[in-house]
Structure 1
């Protein structure tokens, strides 16, 4: 009998202590982008960089000569479009190893670009109208 009372008293004491120590769980985000502590940002970025396995290709595998050629073609095309759009010329042509590009000013502030692909033989026409409607 004494043993049963002692076990019952021990059980009721433990259950009371466990019920009293329970608290409400509140979610606190860690990432500062979602409302977490802003001081966690640098730490999270350093962890992400440490586990990042991605190695970018060097300019998609282009050699220095290929990058130079791409840059020169881009600048030549930019100069041609600037000349036509500013009114210095009525049109022009740019020919590369793979493409022939004809730019024609339509006289109403718009441009027509004729692109011919030498490799596939396909042709595309792009018409750009004056965005201001002049």
Structure 2
């Protein structure tokens, strides 16, 4: 029985043939076939999840002068408010706890045990943010 099994295994190995593994690149940039270029490009474009954006940093969504002026005013008011908040917390400020409304920005300033809590709400978009300036009450 063992001899028959040995012969079967020996005959089985004689039929096995090896072949050489050859790497052939697909991408034409790495030596592959140039006819693959269009297929690779269309496949990559189909899988691309990012939208093309303009390279110019000066493209504003609202490019008319009135909205630009309004945005500038909002930035200036928020800048002055933040300066007053820091001045109040660290000296030479006169901002008191309360509620402040600047256009679509709703700010609530409260004094807590952790320090000054500033809650900011944009009523147009619903975005919310909270800032805690550490300090004693």
TM-score scaled to structure 1, two decimals? 0.39
